[in-house]
Amino acid sequence: MIAGRRHHSKLWTPFLHLHHNHHNPLCCLPVLPGTRTWTARAACSTSSRRNLHSHTGDTATNTTTAATAAAQPPRRRPSFITSASSWTKLTDAGLKKIPSPGDSLHPDLGPLLKPLLIPRVVNTEGSRKALAHFTNFFGDMDWTLHYDNFSQPTVLSKDPVPFSNFWATLDPPWKKKDNQEGEIARLVLVAHYDSKIEPQGFIGATDSAAPCAMIMHVAKSIDKAMRRKWAQMEKEGDEFAMADEHGFMVLLLDGEEAFKWWTSEDSIYGARHLADKWESTMHPAHSTYKNHLSSINLFVLLDLLGAPNPRIPSYFKTTHWAYQHMADLEIRLRAMDLLESGKDHSLFLPDRDKTVFPEGLQIEDDHIPFLRRGVDILHIIASPFPPVWHTMNDDGAHLDKAVVNDWAVIVSAFVVEWYGLEPFLKDNGDGMKTVSERGNKTEL
Ligand SMILES: [Zn+2]
């Protein structure tokens, strides 16, 4: 941690106006109780641009605004990795076809979320149940499942404690078949599934049961469309396009929470282990992507989502172009009355037109070990944090069901755009209702 004022909870930047409900005796700044710290952005100045896939409009239906285009990375000349990097905006008709979560994310009824609304402390029965939930869900969709099991001492235990990161991949079948791991780049959606050890019985609905379940909905929303796209590509047999096609990854991390106070040693156990492992595990020589880290197109981290009235700033100038795409989608979905929180609700993503990014401070979270190794990060975390943060009130009853569903829809639309899936979406939502069928009413 460099030049950051260390607390047992997040350090807050002065430019953010955050509510607080207790005063940290270690510090003169008011802070919320709990985890994470702000640290100097300088610590991450090595965040090199690993932007192998500039999402510019070389072949896209380029309706990008001038402001958006200006924030995007420079165009690359066509190469064997560029066609998948084009960005095709969803049409209005396409937006209407985004699958709605319906009641699948309902805290009391939802098959995706309800099983996660239990304490999920590292190396406990609840944690194993959460992992089993992911295994069953992604296994049923026939994704490739991976586990990163490791043990290490913690501040509470000199004996090594077992942790388990989980990821599931959906890759172009021709690359999967030929085991071309070094040729597959992926968009990665990330959340942590562990919950804080204290207070006892803490659920962590926004932190991060709901983000995990939202990501599951996103995966379900795109699964069949991706497969239809790839089936068509195989039929067409365009080797150039096929070599260029990307995969998709869901990464659910263990051990994000501190066992005692948030420090660089007592926090983000899973992320630190995995970033190190992925950096040092090399793909075969001559691979396009030398290791797992370099094959991450964008690391989209969802955290502290599901509370009412979220506000998510754009944290990184380098990935502001991606933030703008997501913010654009929110604006369009809202204008078309396709979000449950309603047309007139304040924007979840208000920073589309932001041009000045203060240097200096940032939120510590699971992205840090990846950021420091040069991975591009889109951090979707509410600031200010939800009022229920790290309290017993961060439970299912305090989730805003409309907001939870809307996040799932916005992120689904983002992934659909990323992969150009509009032609492969079904009018019937592949068995889920679409956002337009849902209308603007909560069904429950
Ligand atoms: Zn937390």
Which pLDDT tens digit goes with each residue over 384-428? 999 999 999 999 999 999 999 999 999 999 999 999 999 999 998
Which residue has 């290490």 as its token pair?
152
Single-letter code of the amino acid located at 228? R
Q: Which domains does the chain have, with CATH numbers?
A: 36-438 (3.40.630.10)
Looking at residue 34, what is its pLDDT? 36
Using N-to-C axis directions, what is the helix angle for 401-419 and 210-236, rounded to 10°?
A: 20
Beta strands in 126-215 (DSSP E): 144-154, 157-170, 186-192
CA 223 to chain centre: 17
Question: Residue 336 has which token pair?
Answer: 């078309």
- On the question of pLDDT at 432 being above 50, the answer is yes
Q: How confident is the model at residue 85 (pLDDT cuts 50, 70, 90)?
A: low
Looking at residue 361, what is its pLDDT? 67
Question: Residue 252 has which token pair?
Answer: 């659910």
Q: How far is the CA of 356 from the centre of ligand 1 (A)?
A: 28
Q: Give the chain's end-to-end CA distance (angstroms, integer).
A: 46
pLDDT digits (tens, 9 = 90+) for 262-303: 999 999 999 999 999 999 999 988 899 999 999 999 999 999
C-alpha separations of 36 from 64, 65, 262, 391 in Å: 36, 36, 6, 15
d(CA 333, CA 411): 11
| Cβ–Cβ under 8 Å, residues 325 and 417 | yes
Q: How confident is the model at residue 383 (pLDDT cuts 50, 70, 90)?
A: very high
d(CA 363, CA 303): 11
Q: How far is the CA of 157 from the centre of ligand 1 (A)?
A: 20
| Cβ–Cβ under 8 Å, residues 247 and 292 | no
| Cβ–Cβ under 8 Å, residues 427 and 434 | yes
| Cβ–Cβ under 8 Å, residues 439 and 112 | no
Using N-to-C axis directions, what is the helix angle for 125-140 and 210-236, rounded to 10°?
A: 20
Average pLDDT over all residues of the chain: 83
Instruction: Report the percent of the chain where pLDDT is more than 70.
Output: 79
Secondary structure letter of residue 396 according to DSSP: G
Average pLDDT over residues 146-169: 96
Alpha helices in 146-208 (DSSP H): 173-177
Using N-to-C axis directions, what is the helix angle for 320-335 and 401-419, rounded to 10°?
A: 120
C-alpha separations of 313 from 45, 49, 100, 317 in Å: 20, 21, 25, 11
Q: What is the pTM of this model?
A: 0.83
Looking at residue 360, what is its pLDDT? 66
Q: How confident is the model at residue 195 (pLDDT cuts 50, 70, 90)?
A: very high
Average pLDDT over residues 13-21: 31
Question: Residue 166 has which token pair?
Answer: 């989980």
Looking at residue 230, what is its pLDDT? 98
Residue 40, beta-bridge partner list: 361
C-alpha separations of 270 from 15, 194, 275, 300, 411 in Å: 30, 10, 9, 16, 24
Catalytic residues: 256, 303
Cβ neighbors of 5 (< 8 A, separation 6 or more) are: 11, 27, 29, 37, 38
Q: How far is the CA of 306 from the centre of ligand 1 (A)?
A: 13
Q: How far is the CA of 207 from the centre of ligand 1 (A)?
A: 5
Please compute Rg for the chain using Cα positions.
21
- On the question of pLDDT at 443 being above 50, the answer is no
Q: How confident is the model at residue 179 (pLDDT cuts 50, 70, 90)?
A: confident
Q: How far is the CA of 31 from the centre of ligand 1 (A)?
A: 14
Which residue has 């959340």 as its token pair?
191
pLDDT digits (tens, 9 = 90+) for 47-83: 332 333 333 333 333 333 334 434 444 333 333 333 3
Q: How far is the CA of 196 from the centre of ligand 1 (A)?
A: 6
